[in-house]
Amino acid sequence: MCTVCGCGSGEVKIGGAVRPRGAARKPAATRAWKALGEHQHEHVHPDGTRHSHPHEHPHDHDHMHDAEPTAAMAHVEDGEGHLHFGAGPAHAHVPGLSQAQMVKIERDILGKNDLQAEANRRWLAERGIFALNLVSSPGSGKTTLLVRTINELAGRVPVAVIEGDQQTEFDAERIRATGAPALQINTGKGCHLDADMVGRAFERMDLAERSLLLIENVGNLVCPAAFDLGEAHKVAILSVTEGEDKPLKYPDLFAAADLLLLNKVDLLPHLAFDVERAIGYARRVNPDVQVIRTSAVSGEGIAEWLAWIERGLAGRA
Amino acid sequence: MHEMSLAEGVRGIVEETVAAQGLRAVKAIVLEIGELSSVEPDALAFCLEAVLRDTVAEGARIEIERIAGAGWCLECDRTVPLAQRYDACPNCGGYRVQPTAGTEMRVRELEAD
């Protein structure tokens, strides 16, 4: 379930294959849970599942004696490293002391997603892939802009696309028509992509090194703001056929973006949209946001957008 | 925000902790919810009561500690109190304020057997 809005996540389809959430990834038997003193650790299971988790070395306490080994004590990892908590239930190993006590957790409620996002980020960095997470309302012109972007970059930069929608392959088909590889994730009842879905998409895609990966999130101005996918930047797209006050109505999403594309500007002569006011509102919630005015139809701003992408790609190389 | 689903996230963390630590019962769950995080504490406590049914944390006391909002104003070059995430600086009226406290949504600790 979405931990922001409560929408379901019962049936996620990645590239057409139905994979119930929870069944695809084995629970991490070696998962550590303490926030303090931990560091990240990534490994690959024999079945090819890659994951990372905090890894800690608690040593500053006595070991429990005269007791059956607990699940916590039994943790041993293959290969490098291991966990040895050396403590019984709730670390209660002093005779006569009540076992009721406080167990420190210090975990973010969205921490699981953030861990997977960091694993995704490392995976992308190792391959020099520049990934952008495109967030907007439905109908802002994301897919049309992507098609134009891919066509402009053809022959210069390899581009792949992950498409997120609740249902249908329509968007992935539009991208594939350009010749670029595209994987459709259908979130079912879900309202956003999360880091786990995107990580699983990587496994199914043959992504070129030093390429551009465009992740088109589900059209939604609320939930995608809270979910890091491991991207280099979130790019918000606001079309001029929407209200210019959207950055104030949905501030979290505009605050999370590094770049705002003000899209469909070819329609401005027909609208009462106040461009400067919209940009002012966006800068109120995000003073450092960069803004490019784009139109996939007239081509306005496309060169500037491509230059922004190419600067990002150069930074990866 | 939508507290039922956040409650599901809390339950997941509690269940992982219970399994990893071999706990028998959870008597209390202590959460830190920042005042800028848009979470309604009463609604979250209500939802937790529902989602913790039939777990070892059923009936656990829910303690929610609020963390006051604060931000760093780039114009004033100091920390200022913030009542809402995108408010102007109470000192200079500018919007170049980066939240530095109050956005937390954390499970801090459990009281357990």
Domains detected in chain B: 3-68+102-112 (3.30.2320.50)
Q: Residue A112's pLDDT is what?
A: 79
Co-location of A65 and A159 in the same domain: no
Mutation to test the A interface, candidates B86, B87, B111, most A Cβ within 10 Å: B86
Which range has the top average pLDDT, A25-39, A92-106, A125-139?
A125-139
* Domain enclosing residue A276, as ranges: 112-316
Looking at A76, A107, A138, the residue that finishes a domain is A107
Co-location of A214 and A117 in the same domain: yes
- The amino acid occupying position A98 is S
Mean of pLDDT over chain B: 91
Co-location of A100 and A58 in the same domain: yes
A178 Cβ partners below 8 Å, 6+ apart?
A: A147, A150, A151, A154
pLDDT tens profile A101-158: 788 888 888 787 888 999 999 999 999 999 999 999 999 999 999 999 999 999 999 9
Q: Which residue has the higher pLDDT, B46 or A236?
A: A236
Co-location of A246 and A164 in the same domain: yes
Inspect the interface and report whether the beta carbons of B86 and A70 lie closer than 8 Å.
no
Residue A2 lies in a domain: no
**A26 contacts chain B (CB < 8 A):** no
Q: How many domains does chain A have?
A: 2
Residue A12 lies in a domain: no
Task: Identify the CATH number of the domain in which residue A244 sits.
Answer: 3.40.50.300
Co-location of A52 and A170 in the same domain: no
Distance CA A191, CA A175 (A): 21
ipTM above 0.90, yes or no: no
pLDDT tens profile A182-222: 999 998 877 889 899 999 999 999 999 999 999 999 999 98
Least Cα distance to B7 among B47, B60, B37 occurs for B47
Residue A259: phi and psi, rounded to 5, are -135, 140
Co-location of A42 and A100 in the same domain: yes
3-state DSSP of B1-62: CCHHHHHHHHHHHHHHHHHHHCCCCEEEEEEEEECCCCCCHHHHHHHHHHHCCCCCCCCCEE
Residue A307 lies in a domain: yes
Measured between CA atoms, the residue of chain A closest to residue B2 is A5
Q: Residue A123's pLDDT is what?
A: 97
A101 CB neighbours in chain B (<8 A) are: 111-112
**A248 contacts chain B (CB < 8 A):** yes
Looking at A85, A107, A129, the residue that finishes a domain is A107
Task: Quote the minimal CA–CA distance from B73 to chain A in Å.
Answer: 12
Co-location of A168 and A306 in the same domain: yes
Residue A146: phi and psi, rounded to 5, are -65, -45
Residue A67 lies in a domain: yes
Residue A306 lies in a domain: yes
**A44 contacts chain B (CB < 8 A):** no
The pLDDT-based confidence of A256 (bands split at 50, 70, 90) is very high
Task: Quote the minimal CA–CA distance from B5 to chain A in Å.
Answer: 4
Q: Which residue has the higher pLDDT, A293 or A86?
A: A293
Backbone CA torsion sign across A86, A89, A90, A92: negative
Mean of pLDDT over chain A: 78
Co-location of A273 and A208 in the same domain: yes
Co-location of A211 and A178 in the same domain: yes
B108 CB neighbours in chain A (<8 A) are: 104-106
What Å distances lie between residue A32 and A36, A99, A304, B16, CA to CA? Answer: 11, 21, 45, 9
Residue A103 lies in a domain: yes
Least Cα distance to A300 among A254, A262, A247 occurs for A262
Residue A127 lies in a domain: yes
The pLDDT-based confidence of A74 (bands split at 50, 70, 90) is very low
Looking at A80, A107, A134, the residue that finishes a domain is A107
Least Cα distance to A233 among A125, A131, A129 occurs for A131
Co-location of A79 and A125 in the same domain: no
Co-location of A88 and A143 in the same domain: no
The pLDDT-based confidence of B33 (bands split at 50, 70, 90) is very high
Co-location of A51 and A154 in the same domain: no
A72 CB neighbours in chain B (<8 A) are: 20-22
A254 exposed, middle or buried (CB, 10 Å; 0-12, 13-18, 19+)? buried
Inspect the interface and report whether the beta carbons of B6 and A109 lie closer than 8 Å.
yes
Residue A88 lies in a domain: yes
